[in-house]
Structure 1
């Protein structure tokens, strides 16, 4: 089911179709073990807002370790986004599985879950980012100091350590490290429609190896491979090219200041921008520690699988980027045309930003509800700008528009990407119990 069509300025050329809005049916998407996840609350106005102390098991520890994870990944970031997404996924899958082991009810269950989550995330991060071990040890000591001593705490710590070891072992050699992600791609001979290195820099292709990596939930990288992009002699292709030529040019006369701001804001990496957005969903949840950990596990597992599926479609069709099409193609050739932003070094179809957004929207719509109280986001590529959002689909809309206004993607690549991401996200939700129970 396609995601909502974003609104944008009029496009030269033929009228463009508007896909229907996706269904909002939520319970059918979830496996039995996740059916109680994440209702809305309006208590937290922004991703940076402090969290009040809460009783054990209510989810406050998840926020603490969310922030620890974010700091750790930022401090030790790999050059490949999929590697950083993997770090989040491994840590929170271990945490979610450990929290599900909690026995019985009452205060002891919450104490077990809090200790399990802290222990699991600590151990995974210490293994994957050993330079941060002292900081991680300090954070773990602070969490455990807030949990009453006793068998529940001890068993939770043990469960977290056990699941961390298990998930780390299961994901060893999964091909999501930077060297594997950037496996060299042999550039095909230049031809109409075929990707070639792009200015400025004409860097070699990146992320080719993602399609060779082992997913978390997908059966294989090509499971949801997209159909081919529009033919070069089609009306859709011509309209796409005319739109990006007009609205994505560095010196565009038709792109509005608001559209330029959108392009700048969403030029940053998807993981960076969605880290704050996802924290809003977790902070506003009424869910338990286990519920919130499950949301994070599913979000990041779906993100990794989406990046794998994106690479599969990209390197199957190897579609040229707009800058190459405009400078060397047969439609209105303009060798001097420049996009607003430099073009990333991989093929056009589909947009990776849009696939990430589609997967994120699918998971957050299902587990946090499609609408929430306003929250603000900032972006490192748009200093001083704050944008307010009230629904996850609005982030998808801006992602789709931004890549056109940046001059680096066709709208077809963006819309197809959002649909692919949504498909992978919904698949992850349907198979949630398989992820969370360890039956992989």
Structure 2
């Protein structure tokens, strides 16, 4: 491991062959999470079917296209891109496993023609979903489809694959009708000690409160993993959190050292873009075939979509104020141990939504739980940051989550409890999801 340093460009390790037998099972203990009912996500044994081996690059290529559409063209904010990536990845997964088999489809029971091209199906599914929700990017997604289909031999296999991929996409689109996206969900809490209100410098209103009521992709309801309440304002734990973020998260006069500041800057990049790059990097370095690549993205991104729902649900429900408000108004919190500083600023500008839980850490815990479950232990995760121009490597989820938890405090954006609780709840969600979805077929 080269934690906190630029990752060496060494030759990737070759993973052992995929096991196709019974599901690997593990026990959740604290923050160490192994997913139930999954097999290790490693390169598959050579296929015995007559069908030529499908090129897995179609999955990573369309993930990159989706990033361009969702993050660059549409500029969707915060964790919202995981919602759209979840839709795309679920459709691609159903298109691929509907033809190739091996894993249970996502909320679907159709099978594709035996000789259909799973590459063509994956491309057609991603194209259909992106065009449905982002018609302004038609030129981009049409060009990507031409490129993908140009790599598939013309004929019946391609035609049947395209048709099945479109059916897979239409099914996901139908599942998401009237799911609450964009609904009018008001935030009407009056300002009071401990209660969130818009924060400087922009004082923007609550961003996307509709996500708190959106129908999840995997969970039964948005509050399925809602945590207990945050610490009381007069508690020792709140006091410790307050003093830590005030001292280490300040923009000016902070007690951060150079390494801590570098870590804070590393994780100030767009997390949704960072994770999509990391997933593509993992799939390519480990030589995942088209089925396991599709499963990796579907599991991570549908869980990511539900993370956005569960984190927003908690934020709307508890409406805890952010550190920048807490420090400036500490003389109103009823806690004699907290001292106000009306000029205090966090290292980074505070996003426009409440404190508890940390959505960043919920996502980190959930996605790394998925990786832990699918790989059987070590996540072998590389992540790059455009802010620092460096790449870091993490062998285990614990290593990664520890750094992100620290970073969010050092950025001045969160109390530590919000990070720790968020990471724990995300891990629970990721593990729960893998025990119910994307399971190996008997």
**TM-score, length-scaled by structure 1:** 0.81
> Runs of 5+ in structure 1 lacking a partner?
1-5, 8-18, 42-54
Q: CA deviation at 1:308?
A: 0.8
Following the alignment from structure 2 to structure 1, what is the Cα–Cα distance between the partners of residues 196 and 87? 33
Distance 1:399 1:113, change over 3 A: same
TM-score between both structures, scaled by the size of structure 2: 0.81
> Is contact 1:370–1:393 with CA below 8 Å preserved after alignment?
no
In the TM superposition, what are the counterparts of 1:284-323 in structure 2 within 5 Å? 284-323=285-324
Which residues in structure 2 correspond to 1:355-394 (within 5 Å)? Answer: 355-371=362-378, 375=382, 377-379=384-386, 382-394=387-399
Paired residues of 2:265 and 2:388 also in contact (CA < 8 A): no
Bigger Cα displacement from structure 2, 391-400 vs 157-166: 391-400
Q: Which residue of 1 aligns with 2:200?
A: 199
Q: Distance in 2 between matches of 1:131 and 1:345?
A: 27
- Give the unaligned 5+ runs of structure 2: 5-27, 45-51, 103-112, 332-337
Query: Per-residue deviation at 1:101?
Result: 2.0
- Which of 139, 142, 147 is the matching residue for 1:137? 142
Q: Is the aligned partner of 1:266 residue 2:267?
A: yes
Rate the CA distance shift 1:418–1:29 in 2: closer, same or farther, 3 A: farther
- Tell me how many residue pairs correspond in the alignment: 393
Assess, with a 3 A threshold, how the Cα gap between structure 1 residues 110 and 288 changes in structure 2: closer, same or farther: farther
**Post-superposition shift, 1:358?**
0.8
**How do 1:389-408 and structure 2 match up within 5 A?**
389-408=394-413
Task: Quote how far apart the aligned CAs of 1:313 are.
Answer: 1.3
Alpha-carbon distance between aligned partners in 1 of 2:254 and 2:223, rounded to the nearest angstrom: 40
Decide whether the 8 Å contact of 2:83 with 2:308 is kept in 1. no
What residue is the counterpart of 1:50 in the other structure? none
Deviates more, 1:57-66 or 1:273-282: 57-66
Equivalent residue for 1:344, pick from 351, 366, 376:
351
Residue 114 of structure 1 corresponds to which residue in structure 2? 119
1:155 matched residue in structure 2: 160
3-state SS of paired residue (1:387): strand
1:96-245 matches, cutoff 5 A: 96-102=93-99, 112-176=117-181, 179-180=182-183, 183-190=185-192, 192-245=193-246
Find out whether 1:328 has 2:325 as its counterpart: no
CA contact (8 A) 1:184 1:206 kept: no
Q: Tell whether the 8 Å contact from 1:204 to 1:345 is kept in structure 2 after alignment.
A: yes
Residues 142/111 of structure 1: CA separation in 2 closer, same or farther (3 Å cut): farther
Cα deviation, 1:227-256, whole Å, max 9, x if unaligned, reads: 111122221111111111110111234201
Q: Aligned partners of 1:352 and 1:72: how far apart in 2?
A: 23
Alpha-carbon distance change, 67 to 203 in structure 1, aligned in 2, over 3 angstroms: closer
Conserved? CA contact 1:198–1:345, under 8 Å: yes
User: What is the CA-CA distance between 1:119 and the residue it aligns to?
Assistant: 1.1
Q: 2:43, 2:320 → 1: CA distance?
A: 41
CA distance in 1, matches of 2:353, 2:380: 37
